[in-house]
A and B are shown apart, each in its own frame.
Chain A
């Protein structure tokens, strides 16, 4: 049975990286979970694109950062921060779709 990302991660967050990009961080509980996710390539651009209903080309980068057992996803913001239709100026509440990831 698949397990929830919540059993592997201790921090899941989102934030602007400048006004034009949104960055999502998953900090794993330990090195073992970090290694498992990296080895099995569980988080892919197409999976993130589907979760956020964006074209795959808008998912710019997925980077593994060993010093903090972390995975970082950077995507194009649907609109620049503060443009017409903005809902979250800081981009700090865009993480929830990641909570449905399983492994």
Chain B
């Protein structure tokens, strides 16, 4: 990393979109480029879409959409010599996700005749390393997470750590024009370069925290538009690049609440963002200036680990009912169907779990649903079967569907079939099922040391 120097007046950042592949208007991107950014950044990931994507090594965004967004960013960045940083490649940031994104970048380089130096940083953490820390009592569960055991660690796949700014700074210091990072603390994408130029880490990280969601923090908010940030020695200024949007004090402050447990204290790799002294001021032209954000380093440098384990395979069937007697009796009917199916499965030695998602009853809130009356004239029922193999899941789903279709219940007057099935085939394979198994902190002695390689991409 370069020695810290006194920062120039302003460091300008163009954030392309909330998540790589969500898109942005070309006009907003051009407005951003007109402002001569020092960095083009994009966050490509989230754990929000659930455990499947990390486990299966797949992206939750569409390949052609990711390629479209990256084409604008790479052509503008490479031709003008502006660094391009991509964080949490492929949505979850494990090796298969990084490889997927690398292939897309290479395709674009070939098509657009772009040649550049690229740093690729991997966030995967070997199980042996996690185990060493676990045996020393150094794997700390986050709130509501059970302590990690060796058995759970053994079952887990694609374990990644959220890297901080240091590995990105290392790649940029090595002269990389493009940095493709695996699982990454979202703000690090935007904060790494300005922090190594001497800007205040608190302001840089807080600006990154807002820019990683791009125009979501503007009003009207959008996940598919660019945003622009100007980092100064004692503040940062946010600007929307679409005349239809602006940043307001309230839109910016409200975004600070979004998806966080405590808006004043935001923990990240190696420290915590303290916003207790933070102020938001509106400037003319739909801009907001933020001051007072502080970064407080923790005594030890901790990173967050994420990992999932496979619990089986899923098959589902979608159905509905319009029968008022069946709707009234739906609880006992489904319990009766499940009991009957269980008996049959036991006889056949097929394992599996059955879940009924009953829309119109408690399909959305499940255990949290306070309303117990059913007031609709129809119910939607999703039959979910999870088994140890896809074939087992298929069997459980098929048997549950046919049993429910012809189940005799007290008071039944519609004897030809209990379900309206919208599709033929009625059952759909959903593939592997994963659940989160690791969401813990691990100490890191050398935060810059993530495995990385520097390649020359030739177009």
Binding site for B on A (CB under 8 A): 11, 15-21, 23, 25, 27, 51-54, 60-61, 63, 65, 67-70, 72, 74, 76-78, 80-90, 93-94, 96-97
Contacts and interface: CB of A to CB of B under 8 A. Distances in A.
A17 to B, nearest CB: 5
Contacts of A11: 254
Contacts of B434: 82
B366 A97 contact: no
Contacts of A23: 259-261
A81 B143 CA distance: 14
Nearest to A80: B436
A22 to B, nearest CB: 8
B261 A89 contact: no
Interface size of B as a range: 35 or more
B278 interface: yes
B261 A82 contact: no
A78 to B, nearest CB: 5
B158 to A, nearest CB: 14
Contact of A97 (B250, B256, B357, B368): B368
Nearest to B355: A85
A93 to B, nearest CB: 5
Contacts of A90: 48-49
Contacts of B264: 63, 65
Contacts, number: 134
A60 B355 CA distance: 29
17 contacts: A17-B261, A18-B439, A25-B254, A51-B370, A63-B264, A65-B253, A68-B256, A70-B257, A76-B144, A78-B367, A83-B435, A85-B355, A85-B366, A86-B366, A87-B362, A87-B363, A97-B368
B142 A18 contact: yes
B267 to A, nearest CB: 11
Nearest to B251: A68
B423 interface: no
Contact of B366 (A61, A76, A78, A82): A78
Nearest to B278: A67
A51 to B, nearest CB: 6
B376 interface: no
Nearest to A90: B48
Nearest to B262: A63
Contacts of B439: 18-20, 80
A78 B367 CA distance: 7
Interface string B167-197: 0000000000000000000000000000000
Given A16-B259, A18-B439, A80-B439, 16 more contacts: A16-B48, A17-B260, A17-B261, A20-B436, A23-B260, A25-B257, A27-B254, A51-B370, A53-B368, A65-B257, A68-B250, A68-B256, A72-B257, A84-B386, A89-B49, A93-B364
B236 interface: no
A21 B144 contact: yes
B29 interface: no
B52 interface: yes
Contact of A53 (B47, B52, B279, B370): B370
A61 B435 contact: no
Contacts of A60: 143-144, 261
B51 A68 contact: no
B435 A65 contact: no
B280 interface: yes
Contacts of B51: 19, 81-82
Contacts of A52: 368, 370
Contacts of B250: 68-69
